[in-house]
């Protein structure tokens, strides 16, 4: 992986930190959360100017709630996005089916 691959922080904290025992379907759903965040706000949830900065940002930063950047994002959409981007994998969606179900409700 090279720096340009990390400009969009689609690797979940456990992936970046090499915690293979914590990687699962919820890790891939992190990337969905990144895409939803960017789609709804026009911003990335994490920003950095270096590889080490990206590691620090993704591994320890709190995501600015989407509604603070774009008030037109519904509360329900914000909840879906923030759940997908939870730092702790145990707090994220456990499957794409669960995420899809909640997105259906938002739409």
Burial of 34 (0-12, 13-18, 19+ CB in 10 A): buried
pTM for the model:
0.79
**pLDDT tens per residue, range 64-107:** 999 999 999 999 999 999 999 998 888 999 899 999 999 999 98
Contacts of 9 (CB under 8 A, 6+ apart): 34, 44, 45, 46, 48, 54, 57, 58
**pLDDT tens per residue, range 20-71:** 777 777 788 988 998 999 999 998 887 777 777 776 777 666 789 999 999 9
């Amino acid at each position: 992986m090279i720096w340009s691959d990390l400009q969009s922080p689609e690797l979940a904290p456990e992936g970046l930190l090499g915690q293979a025992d914590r990687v699962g379907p919820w890790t891939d759903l992190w990337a969905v959360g990144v895409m939803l965040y960017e789609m709804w706000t026009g911003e990335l949830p994490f920003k950095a100017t270096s590889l080490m900065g990206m590691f620090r940002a993704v591994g320890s930063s709190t995501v600015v709630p989407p509604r603070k950047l774009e008030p037109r994002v519904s509360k329900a959409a914000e909840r879906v996005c923030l759940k997908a981007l939870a730092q702790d994998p145990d707090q994220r969606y456990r499957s794409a089916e669960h995420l899809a179900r909640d997105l259906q409700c938002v739409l």
